[in-house]
Structure 1
Amino acid sequence: MAKTNKGRFFEDYKVGDVIKHAVPRTVSGGERALYHALYPARHAVYSSDQFAASVGLPKSPLEDLLAFHVVFGKTVPDVSLNAVANLGYAEGRWLTPVFEGDTLRSESEVIGVKQNSNGKSGVVYVRTRGLNQNDEVVMEYVRWVMVRKGNLDAPAPETQIPDLAKVIDAGDLVIPEGLDFTGYDFDLAGEAHRWGDYEVGEKIDHVDGVTVEEAEHMIATRLWQNTAKVHFDTTARPDGSRLIYGGHVISMARALSFNGLANAQMIVGLNGGAHANPCLSGTTIRAWSEVLDKAETSAPGVGAIRLRLVATSGGAPFDLKGEDGKYKPEVLLDLDYWALMPV
C-alpha cells in the first residue's frame, strides 16, 4: 500500500467535498520578523504594539497577508499541488485579527468544477476558511485553480460554476473590535494623507522597486509551508525555472504601496485578483494603485477605501491592458481590495 501522496488531480474533486487541511500552525513573533525581513513592510498597526493600542487594539496583530499566506499554504497539498496556475480570487474577508500565539488551520469546500476543452485539465473552485484555536474564522476567500488531470480518460464532470460577487459590499466588511482612529498619530504612521484626501479615480505611483531573489522567494514559500512543485522543483516547468509564488508578489506590492498609502492600515476585504503574468527570479517589482471606491464605516474615525493594486515588472505606470483587452506582458498582479484608513 502506497504511503506517499501524489496530490489530487482534477477528476478527484467533487462539488460539496470539504477538505480539512494539515497541519495546524502556531504563529509567533518569528513569523513577523521574517515577514518584515522579506518585504519592506512598514504599516504602523503591524509594527508597534503601542501604536496598535492607541487605535483600540489589544496589541499589534500579525499582518493580514501573513495570515493569508499561512491559511493559503495549508491548502496547497490538497488543492494546487498539481495545478497549472492559480487563476483568481473573490469574496475574501478578514474577520478576526491574528495575534502572536494563535494557532491557525484551514479547511476548504469545493464549490465548482469545469473541465477544459483540451480534456487535460480543469478549473476547481474552492471556498477556504482559516480558523484559530478557538474555532473562530479569522478569514475566508474563494479561489479557482487550473488543475491537471491524472487520468485523461476520466469522464468530464457536470460543469458547475459558482455565482461570485464581483465586489464585497462595504456593509459586509468586518471592522476589528475596538478599532478607533480618532486619536490616530499621522506623524508616527509616516504620512499625513487621510481618507478624505483620496478621490475615486485617483492613481498613485508608489515609485520604489524591489528585485526578487531566488533565495528569498524560497525562504518565504517554505515559511508558508507552500509545497507547490513549480516554486521549488526546476523540473516542474518546461523552461527549468522556479515560478515565484503569487502571494510573494502580493506582499511585495502591498509593502511598496506604503509610499502613498501609508495610512491604508488594515486589509479587510479581497474583491478579486489575477496573477496576470508569471514572475521569475531577477524580476524588479514595482507597484501602482488606483482608488476604486470609498465608504464610511460605523467605527469611530475609520473609513473604508477600495483600491486596485497593480504590480509590474516595468513599463509605464498606470498602463494595464492593451487594445486587445489583455494584460500587458509586464503586469504581474491586478488585485482589488478594501482597506481601513483614518478619516
Structure 2
Amino acid sequence: MSGKKTNAGRFFEDYRLGDVIIHASPRTVKMGERALYHALYPARHALYSSDIFAQDCGLPFSPLDDLVAFHVVFGKTVPDVSLNAVANLGYAEGRWLCPVWPGDTLRAQSTVIGVKENSNGQSGVVYVRTVGLNQHDEAVLEYVRWVMVKKRDFGAAASVAVVPALAKVVEPSALVIPQGLDFSRYNFALAGEPHRMRDYAVGEVIDHVDGVTIEEAEHMLATRLWQNTAKVHFDATQRADGKRLIYGGHVISLARALSFNGLANAQMLAALNAGAHANPCFADDTVRAWSEVLEMAELDAPGVGAIRLRLVATRGAAGDLRGADGKYLPEVLLDLDYWAFIPV
C-alpha cells in the first residue's frame, strides 16, 4: 500500500530558520460561526452579540468574536506546525489588527523564527510567527507561538540553535484600534455592568465565580469546528492514559467567556502578550476563571482605554497560581496575559 500521497506532518528536523509556510484550506466565516461559538462557550459580551450595540460603539455592525479569528487561524497552522507536537509552550507579540466580519475569508501563513533542539535529542522547540489574512490581503491577526515537536530521527544532526528575542508586553502605543471605535456613547446597562476602566485598580483580583464542566462532545465539536487536526485532541490512542487532551484554545475561550462576570466591559481583545497552558485539561474537568489587573492605558480614540489582564483558568480557587517552588499549581490550566479595549 502506497503512503506517498499522505502527509505524516513535519518533525523537528524538517524546520529551517526563515521558512515561510503557506497553510492550506482558507475558511469563509459567517453567522453560523458565531452561533456555534456562542453554543460552545457562555459568551455574552454585547459588542459581539448585537449589531445595534456595535453601531452605537462606532462600528458598522457586530464583528465576529476575536477568538473566532484566533481559532480559525490557529487551526490552519496545526497540520504544518504542531501535528507532531509534544506540547504548545507559549505565545507572545500577538495583536488583533482588524475586526473579522461575517463573510470574510481567512487564511494563514507562518514564518519559522527560531529552532532549538532539546538536550534529550528526541525533540526540539520551534518558534513561528503566524499572520492571519482576509480576502483583501489585510492582516487581521498576528502572533508568535513556540511548540515542542518530536524528532523523526533521533540521530539527525541538530540545527544551530536560534531563540528569538520576544517582547514581554505589547506596548499600548502598538495596539491597533478598530476604525471608528467610539465608547463615548457606551450603554452600560445593555452591556451588563457599570464598571469603567477607572473603576479597576492595578493588582486587583477578580473572581469570575462561575464554572463550566467540559464535556467530551463539546470539545470534540470545537476541535473539528476549528479544523484542528492535532492528534492528541481527537485520537484517544495517542496517550497512554487513553484520554483526549482538550485543545488549549477551548480553555482560552471558556475562561474569556467566564470573565464576563466582572469584566463585561472589556469588550474587544487587542493583544496577546504571553500565555502558557500550565497543565493538561481533560473532559469532566470543571473550569473556573479569575483575572488580575496588571496595567491600564488611555488611548487615542473617544472614550476608549486599554486594560491589561492576567486571565487564569483553573480547577482550583481564585488567586492561586504558583506553589512555594515557583511552579504552577497542578490545578492551574491557563495563564494568559492580554490587553482589551474598555470604556474609560
Number of aligned positions between the proteins:
342
Deviation at residue 91 of structure 1 after TM alignment: 0.1
- The aligned counterpart of 2:335 is 334
Amino acid at match of 2:186: Y
Please give the alpha-carbon distance, in whole angstroms, between the structure 1 residues aligned to 2:238 and 2:149.
14
Say if 2:187 is the partner of 1:159.
no
Deviation at residue 134 of structure 1 after TM alignment: 0.2
- The aligned counterpart of 1:320 is 321
- The aligned counterpart of 1:231 is 233
- Could you tell me which runs of 5 or more consecutive residues in structure 2 were left unpaired when the two chains were aligned: none
Please give the alpha-carbon distance, in whole angstroms, between the structure 2 residues aligned to 1:202 and 1:27.
37
- The aligned counterpart of 1:199 is 201
Deviation at residue 101 of structure 1 after TM alignment: 0.2
- The aligned counterpart of 1:148 is 150
Amino acid at match of 1:54: D
Deviation at residue 151 of structure 1 after TM alignment: 1.0
- The aligned counterpart of 2:282 is 280
Say if 2:120 is the partner of 1:118.
yes
SS in 2 for 1:231: helix
- Could you tell me which runs of 5 or more consecutive residues in structure 1 were left unpaired when the two chains were aligned: none
SS in 1 for 2:142: strand
Superposition map of 1:291-302 within 5 A = 291-302=293-304
- The aligned counterpart of 1:21 is 23
Please give the alpha-carbon distance, in whole angstroms, between the structure 1 residues aligned to 2:47 and 2:70.
17
SS in 2 for 1:235: helix
Amino acid at match of 1:50: I
The percentage of aligned residue pairs carrying the same residue is 75
Please give the alpha-carbon distance, in whole angstroms, between the structure 1 residues aligned to 2:239 and 2:82.
15
Aligned Cα root-mean-square deviation (Å):
0.5
Superposition map of 1:133-144 within 5 A = 133-144=135-146
Please give the alpha-carbon distance, in whole angstroms, between the structure 2 residues aligned to 1:216 and 1:327.
27
Deviation at residue 153 of structure 1 after TM alignment: 1.1
SS in 1 for 2:261: helix
Please give the alpha-carbon distance, in whole angstroms, between the structure 1 residues aligned to 2:241 and 2:87.
15
Superposition map of 1:170-181 within 5 A = 170-181=172-183
SS in 2 for 1:250: helix
SS in 2 for 1:34: helix
Deviation at residue 337 of structure 1 after TM alignment: 0.1
Please give the alpha-carbon distance, in whole angstroms, between the structure 2 residues aligned to 1:242 and 1:42.
28
Amino acid at match of 1:320: L
Please give the alpha-carbon distance, in whole angstroms, between the structure 1 residues aligned to 2:204 and 2:173.
23
Superposition map of 1:46-61 within 5 A = 46-61=48-63
Deviation at residue 264 of structure 1 after TM alignment: 0.1
Deviation at residue 293 of structure 1 after TM alignment: 0.1
Query: What is the TM-score with the length of structure 2 in the denominator?
Result: 0.99
Please give the alpha-carbon distance, in whole angstroms, between the structure 2 residues aligned to 1:221 and 1:268.
24
- The aligned counterpart of 1:311 is 313
Please give the alpha-carbon distance, in whole angstroms, between the structure 2 residues aligned to 1:256 and 1:68.
18
Superposition map of 1:40-119 within 5 A = 40-119=42-121
Deviation at residue 237 of structure 1 after TM alignment: 1.0
Deviation at residue 130 of structure 1 after TM alignment: 0.1
Q: State the 4+ residue runs in structure 1 displaced beyond 4 angstroms.
A: none
Please give the alpha-carbon distance, in whole angstroms, between the structure 1 residues aligned to 2:87 and 2:50.
36
String of CA shifts for 1:174-208, please: whole Å, max 9, x gaps. Answer: 00000000000000000001111001000000000
Deviation at residue 152 of structure 1 after TM alignment: 1.0
SS in 2 for 1:230: helix
Superposition map of 1:215-226 within 5 A = 215-226=217-228
Amino acid at match of 2:206: I
String of CA shifts for 1:42-83, please: whole Å, max 9, x gaps. Answer: 000100001000000011000001110000000000000000
